[in-house]
Chain A
């Protein structure tokens, strides 16, 4: 089972002076169980692309199949697609509206027609997934919470739909380091424990390097790379050309290599960097 895009293009306001081709001829497959990163410069079409995954936008050209179902086919209920593919927008806490945390998280389950008992168990479960204590938070207003907590409530609101695929648009934007780490930890857990398929859009190459197996890079609406994370970041010159960075540790290794150190440059995390530097230093010491 998977989300498959074939030749998908999207044009905003076609045949008008404001016509804008946001994405062009994208072929993509998201297989169940994967954790994928999506990166691209501001305005590269990331947000447009992810809105095709759950039918919020319909392709102007091409096809989107979610578990084999064409999202624009007649008789397909978009609600069913949206149940399967959860989409968490940027700054999701801006969508909170209910008087209590419970009611806000219950909004999704209620919309898909679940009864009270089922809704309750789903809210409980969703809150647990993001580490919000049910008894403590249930009856308080989401607007009194801190930024990080609000975001977790909003995330729980999508998780309560129990999606198979979870798409997150910049889930850590505007959070402090602690809030950021918490959200990323929950995302990792959702992938490992709940076996959710995850697509994460981010500007932070370090987060991406730490989290994802596969990386999709788009530039000006076109797919540039679609490969394993390490292979993608090996193309640092090309990434730089389209205005993207590499993870801090990769950058560090590149600098060391530039200075003549014989280090590998396909390093993504601090741990890998430490091992590689130690390997070279120790090896060098042995030579001397």
Chain B
């Protein structure tokens, strides 16, 4: 159950996408998003769909991982689809009582749902093909380029948060089992009793998180960590020909999408 969470997971590999510089990937994701939001008709979506699918193929990440990442969103997807489907005004194609589906609604619903699915696919592709360390290095230098203060600290916080997601999940399962062994019941009863039943889980979880944070801070200080000031790195990020190629591809995608949107 809890093990199915794929946020921040990394699938090792040596594909074209794996080898790209993290900065390239981050910027490319934003360009991709712009292209996605620029597309508004079937031609545009066809282009984006082809692009997205080829990216997943190129990355050699198993499809199952991508689907797992999308699955938790199903409520939002169904809601998006439903709201557009039933509430958009226009040419009616199906009607039963006051419930009606319009052609525009169907179109909007499909497009919006696809847009969400693609957004999640590409962003999870980013985390699936980039080690957390490389990712935060990338974020740090992108933030620095945007003149954001404390870029290093922000990036460090992100790394640590990502790093501890699996640990916390493991810990939660362990504490849950320990309390279940004492007769605790986490999945029956009304909302109030369910919320109450979380206390024996949350208190130990918070405590252990604080303990871990304390220990980590101590360990970092013991190794003379003092933030981003004058910090140099062992692994310098380096752009290669591959990265410039990737930029060209994503730019072409964006331009094609804009042309389709405004001139066709």
Contacts and interface: CB of A to CB of B under 8 A. Distances in A.
Interface residues of B, number: 20
Interface residues of A, number: 27
A92 B175 CA distance: 9
A107 B182 contact: yes
Nearest to B175: A95
A108 B182 contact: yes
B180 interface: yes
Contact of A51 (B175, B177, B203): B177
Interface string A65-101: 0000000000000010011001111001011110000
A54 B181 contact: yes
Interface string A145-159: 000000000000110
B252 to A, nearest CB: 34
Given A16-B64, A17-B62, A97 B182 contact: no
B55 to A, nearest CB: 21
Contact of B204 (A88, A96, A112, A157): A96
A144 interface: no
A77 to B, nearest CB: 10
Contacts of B43: none
A56 B203 contact: no
Given A95-B175, A97-B199, A56 B181 contact: yes
Contacts of A112: 183
B183 A83 contact: yes
Contacts of A64: none
A87 B178 CA distance: 8
Given A95-B204, A97-B203, A111 B182 contact: yes
A89 B179 CA distance: 10
B181 A87 contact: yes
Interface in B118-158: none
Given A94-B175, A94-B208, A97-B203, A13 B183 contact: no
B180 A56 contact: yes
Nearest to B11: A17
Interface in B176-231: 177-185, 199-200, 203-204, 207-208
Contacts of A13: 3
Given A94-B208, A97-B200, A111 B178 contact: no
A94 B180 CA distance: 14
B174 interface: yes
A95 B208 CA distance: 10
Interface string A140-175: 000100000000000001100100000000000000
Contacts of A161: 182-183
Contact of A89 (B174, B183, B199): B174
Instruction: Choose among B64, B181, B208 the residue with the greatest number of A CB atoms under 10 Å from its CB.
Output: B181
A22 to B, nearest CB: 14
B75 to A, nearest CB: 23
A157 B177 contact: no
Contacts of A95: 175, 178-179, 182, 200, 204
Interface of A: 13, 16-18, 51, 54, 56, 79, 82-83, 86-89, 92, 94-97, 107-108, 111-112, 143, 157-158, 161
Interface pairs A-B: 4 shortest CB-CB: A111-B183, A97-B203, A108-B182, A95-B178
Interface of B: 3, 62, 64, 174-175, 177-185, 199-200, 203-204, 207-208
14 contacts: A18-B3, A79-B183, A82-B180, A87-B181, A88-B181, A92-B178, A94-B178, A94-B208, A96-B204, A107-B179, A107-B182, A107-B200, A111-B183, A143-B207
Given A51-B177, A83-B183, 14 more contacts: A16-B64, A17-B64, A54-B181, A82-B181, A82-B182, A82-B183, A88-B181, A94-B178, A94-B208, A95-B204, A97-B200, A97-B204, A107-B182, A158-B181
